[in-house]
A and B are shown apart, each in its own frame.
Chain A
């Protein structure tokens, strides 16, 4: 792998992407992204998906019956 991050191929950059995204260092600032439209688009898509997950999947309240069944089962197990 080349020592100059700006000279990475798309394949080399994308191989590092999981670590870059997870590191919180902001892969958008990576020199390869500055010069590669395809990888820039990929990053935007992945960020859009992560953001959509946060917004579109709120936590859901279980119905009260679930607790009632848990209590009932606990009582049964305690007998």
Chain B
């Protein structure tokens, strides 16, 4: 369903992604793990047509990502790492706009929006402007929005950041169900390793732009001779703290997000 072949991306001299190759099968829940600045988000941006690779080949749902971006865009849904809501619109209006952008049939819009907003517990607040929402509520709304059009491939870039355990569990349950029922492929990143351990069929660990290891959670433990994923992860990526290279927009959003989380 997703094929990444010798993917590289450089920003000036900095190599954000360095010769990464992997495949994700249809219906698979696939986790991309790595420290900050490892190249996870950059990889997702390239897969979702937001960024052009420096070299390499990407295929999604049988379509070449660079040659046929429109076909690719109609195949996936995404929950971004940073906020991407219009805060001057109400929650319902944000959902409705998304439904129209993704060509959800007219009669389907309201029932689906209702179902998903109820799932994330926001239906009572549907007519509030998003700027009155707390950070956690915005996050829940974004997740509901990403699921709205039942995509073939779903990208979740740190979807559960800043959410409480209850909401995280609920979310994973829903994603899991949706994936099994519709044979949906899910590629996600997270810093909560137990989420990957519990939900992912396979895990890829990347660091400094390079793919270090790929396999089922069990295989990773066996390979590294560890007893849980956190140990395996630390064994592969080391203990030091990373600096993240960010562009001005990213850092600006990071500040906003830190504020809204408070």
Q: Do A and B bind each other?
A: no
Binding site for B on A (CB under 8 A): none
Binding site for A on B (CB under 8 A): none
